[in-house]
Amino acid sequence: MPETYETLLLERRGRVAIITINRPDKRNALNIKTREEGAALLEELRGDNSVGVVVFTGAGDKAFIAGADIAEFAGRTSITQRDVMMGRSLFTAIDSFPKPVIAMINGYCLGGGCELALACDIRIASETASFGQPEINLGIIPGGGGTQRLTRLVGEGKAMEMILTGEIFDAATAFSIGLVNHVVPAAQLEAKTMEIANRIADKSPIALQLAKEAVKLASRSNLDEGLRREVDLFALCFSTEDKDEGVSAFLEKRKPAFKGK
Ligand code: COA
């Protein structure tokens, strides 16, 4: 049975926690409550050793997330808007979450929805999903990482085109520019996502955390700094029981049983 929050559902399947944004009537648009509940839930799951991987998805078959809740924009001052983005940043909570996070993209993935997917580590889309940063059509620009994470992922030319035109495009195009890792028929989206999530969830949680941190350094530091810190994180693995278990299991030709120690 999923645990129910005002705007979210949480379902645990083995070591995978599935968080569903549950506002299908509003195409799962991110309002303040969703951001707060999402960030609080991640804080809870952060220290929960029974959870190895988190999956984000949207309720219903139309939308992953159709962006920030535009209805909340009316009358908001620049200072309140800044507070919403920075004080309750669900995107930062995902980005800095110490476990892998997967976006299971089942429909409209627009604006803040695309930014949430970009903050995740892996993106898997259904053939029926569509993508875009349409903020420009509202006379604004992306403010949740759209200009930064998107540019690092797909390159400046593609990011610029998406952000300047606000155009919405299909999953095949998203795949061709490297915005998503996989595109599968809608009926296979959950199975494909769970297959990847379960494969990851069996690994050493410490190695996963350090691997995520190391990969993120690539776009946040220069090469020399990144390489130096990679060695430090790699060396840190040698202080863990999981490394001893992984190596022993290989030599003994058996499956490792990692404990996160
Ligand atoms: N914020 C607030 N409400 C939203 C929303 C958003 N980002 N996206 C959709 N909704 C609401 C609609 O207002 C509508 O509410 P209502 O039934 O109370 O009128 C409901 O969700 C259904 O939307 P609708 O436009 O009728 O659905 P659709 O399937 O025909 O179109 C979209 C879906 C996503 C293409 C369209 O809703 C849209 O363009 N949304 C805005 C996308 C956007 O600009 N996002 C970036 C925000 S910065």
Q: What are 10-28's pLDDT values in tens digits?
A: 999 999 999 999 999 999 9
End-to-end CA distance of the chain: 30
Mean pLDDT for the stretch of residues 21-43: 96
Ligand 1 mutation pick, 27, 35, 133, max ligand atoms within 8 A of CB: 27
Spacing, Cα 98 to ligand 1 middle (Å) = 32
For ligand 1, say whether the CB of 135 is within 6 Å of any of its atoms. yes
- For residue 97, which phi and psi values (nearest 5 degrees)? -65, 135
Q: Is the CB of 30 under 6 A from ligand 1?
A: no
**Separation between Cα atoms, residue 192 and residue 195, nearest integer Å:** 5
Averaged pLDDT for residues 97-104: 98
Q: Which residues on neighbouring strands pair with residue 104, listed in sequence order?
A: 124
Alpha carbon 110 to its chain's center: 14
At the fourth CATH level, the homologous superfamily of domain 3-201 is 2-enoyl-CoA Hydratase; Chain A, domain 1 (3.90.226.10)
Going from N- to C-terminal start, the domains of the chain cover 3-201, 205-251
Instruction: Pick the atom of ligand 1 nearest to 142's CA.
Output: 48
pLDDT greater than 80 at residue 88 = no
CATH of span 205-251:
1.10.12.10
Backbone angles phi, psi at 185, to 5 degrees: -55, 145
Is the beta carbon of 129 within 6 A of some atom in ligand 1?
no
Ligand 1 pocket member 132 (CB < 6 A): no
User: pTM to 2 decimals?
Assistant: 0.96
